[in-house]
Structure 1
Amino acid sequence: MKKNPEETNEPASNQQVDSRIAAVRDLIFGENIQKYDSEIADVYDKINILQEKNSKSLSEAIANIENKLADLESLVDHKFQDLNDDLDKRLADLDDEKADRRKLGKALEKIAQMLQE
């Protein structure tokens, strides 16, 4: 079975038709396609620039929040230490006051015994 000569020429003729269609398409729409391609490229560039700015702003915001959290942690630790020191001081004062009452009570007992003798 031999192929028809028309069948062997079909791919070549299809390529010619395709190239002619492409040429006509470029003539009709070429300028508009280039314009759209240019506009799309500009949009992509602007998107990339905005992504970079947002990424930078986000990084700065995160660093700022981390710094504020560190400052807050330091402040809370300092306040906690101050309160702890104040509590220790008040407990020591309370112990001293109780010790003085005990001494006073013992002294009064001794006086009472002396009076009874």
Structure 2
Amino acid sequence: MAKNQEPKNQANTNNHVDSRIAAVRDLIFGENIQQYDSEFADVYDKIKALQEESKKSLSESVTHLENKLSDLESLMEHKIQDLSDDFEKKIADLDAEKADRRKLGKALEKIALMLQE
């Protein structure tokens, strides 16, 4: 039983010393610590507000980019369909006439120029 009381006595002694150190620390640095705590709290609040603002801004940017990509995809599909229709029309015109290599070459060049735009 004596062994069990020794750790309890040490713990009580350590707590007593710790409370004395804390009391001295508070006497010497009390106002400064409160000021630092207040400043740190303000900084943490500002950081949290900036994080939330950044998340919101990022979310808006992602939505904006997704919309732009969707518009671009739609525009490209429309352009490809127009080129395909034009190509089919030119092929039909060439089939109706005699298959002239010069006309076919010019049609393919025109299509290539349209694709480059």
- In the TM superposition, residue 80 of structure 1 has moved relative to its aligned partner by 0.2
Q: Output the CA distance in 2 between the equivalents of 1:33 and 1:67.
A: 51
- Listed as ranges, the gaps of 5+ residues in structure 2 are 3-7, 100-117
Q: Output the CA distance in 1 between the equivalents of 2:96 and 2:14.
A: 109
What one-letter code is carried by the residue in structure 2 that aligns with 1:33? I
Structure 1 pair 17–91 and aligned structure 2 pair: CA distance change class (3 A): closer
Q: Output the CA distance in 1 between the equivalents of 2:46 and 2:88.
A: 62
* Residue correspondences, number: 94
- In the TM superposition, residue 27 of structure 1 has moved relative to its aligned partner by 1.1
Q: Output the CA distance in 2 between the equivalents of 1:21 and 1:11.
A: 15
Q: Output the CA distance in 1 between the equivalents of 2:20 and 2:92.
A: 102
TM-score, normalising length from structure 1?
Answer: 0.70
What is aligned with 1:104?
none
Structure possessing the higher relative contact order (Cα contacts under 8 Å, 6 or more residues apart): 2
TM-score, normalising length from structure 2?
Answer: 0.70
Which has more radius of gyration? Answer: 1
RMSD of aligned Cα (Å)? 2.4
Q: Output the CA distance in 1 between the equivalents of 2:37 and 2:25.
A: 15
Overall identity of the aligned pairs, in %: 68
